[in-house]
Amino acid sequence: MLRIKTCRKNGVSLKLSQTEIHINESEKWELLCIGDGNPLPELACLYGHNSTTVGEQYDNVTFINVEHANCVDTGLYICSGNNTIGESVSESADIKVSCKPRTYANVKDEYIFINGTDESLNISTKFISFPLSQISWKRELLDGNLTDINKDFKPSTHESHLPYETLSFLQKFDLKEDEYGIYVVNASNIHGSFVLKYHVIVKRAPDPPTNITASCGVTSIGVTWISRFNGGENQTFRINFQNNKTNEIITKAKIFDQGRNKTIYEEQLSLSPDTLYWISLAASNVIGTAISTEITSCTTDTRELLC
């Protein structure tokens, strides 16, 4: 008798190693999605809130392995499988990473520059935390104490489509001069709090550069300084080299800023040897110019005679 061996095909079944994981930030977590069926299914795991593909696939297993959990891992993970036999099958796991509030940049101070009165103030910020943050807004007084913002300001808070994200806004139309200053937003949950200060500042001329030093060669002078607050607009620098013998001034201008409190170095060539130069700096933006009160000096070296 002739016997014929048949291979029975069947649809997909999925199994997750866990359907809910609740851990603290920085702890390890892992999730396995195991697929079965004939033929073996193709698997895909997605982060359900933005459809990002996650995990690595080995044959009929997709493996998500996170050594150090982050707050932004919180959410629903969906594993699906399909082998062309029957319907596609999916299973989901809920990952909850406990964390205290912070912003994405994790900075404590932000600066908002405005042109002047009657402008609108629109502050928006995003906090990440789990559980989600409770938000409050205050204004910081000159003595450092906090007070409630007045009724003309419109604070609002909204949940994001992301399960760890809270959006908060502060709006004010026709800002007045006495409303410049520091506005403080506090985000808190059961794990801690985060305070962010918004400094609302009118644009102005930059602060003058500081810490000016000079070093001399025979016909060159290198100048080093520290840039300061740019006034809320892009700033450039100008160096004046005044010859002590002739009072002639040589200017090196349009030196670009490298950021607040950064050390900048520039060298001026083609100067006279064995000469005292007085060196001054100025910083400029579209609003005005600030001349440093620091003036330094340097005497170029004597040119050596060739034998």
Smallest CA-to-CA distance from 111 within 231, 199, 172 is with 199
Determine contact, residues 203/232, Cβ cutoff 8 Å. yes
Per-residue pLDDT at 158: 95
Smallest CA-to-CA distance from 277 within 215, 208, 209 is with 215
Per-residue pLDDT at 3: 55
CA distance 198 to 271: 47
For the chain, helix, strand, coil in percent to 5 are 0, 55, 40
* List of residues 6+ apart from 145 with CB closer than 8 A: none
CATH top class, domain 14-99: mainly beta
Determine contact, residues 13/59, Cβ cutoff 8 Å. no
Q: Is the pLDDT of residue 306 over 60?
A: no
Per-residue pLDDT at 271: 95
CA distance 181 to 177: 9
pTM equals: 0.76
Q: Which CATH superfamily is domain 210-299 in?
A: Immunoglobulins (2.60.40.10)
CATH top class, domain 104-202: mainly beta
CA distance 250 to 286: 23
Lowest mean pLDDT among 41-50, 62-71, 164-173: 41-50
Tokens 């994001």: give the residue: 160
Per-residue pLDDT at 28: 96
Per-residue pLDDT at 303: 73
Q: Is the pLDDT of residue 106 over 80?
A: yes
Domain with CATH 2.60.40.10 in the chain: 14-99, 104-202, 210-299
The DSSP call for residue 232 is: T
Beta strand 61-66 with 56-58 is: antiparallel
- The stretch 229-257 carries a mean pLDDT of 96
Tokens 């690595």: give the residue: 56
Per-residue pLDDT at 7: 58
The DSSP call for residue 25 is: T
The mean of the pLDDT values for the chain is 92
φ/ψ of residue 71, rounded to 5 = -55, -40
* List of residues 6+ apart from 306 with CB closer than 8 A: none
The DSSP call for residue 260 is: T
Q: Is the pLDDT of residue 60 over 90?
A: no
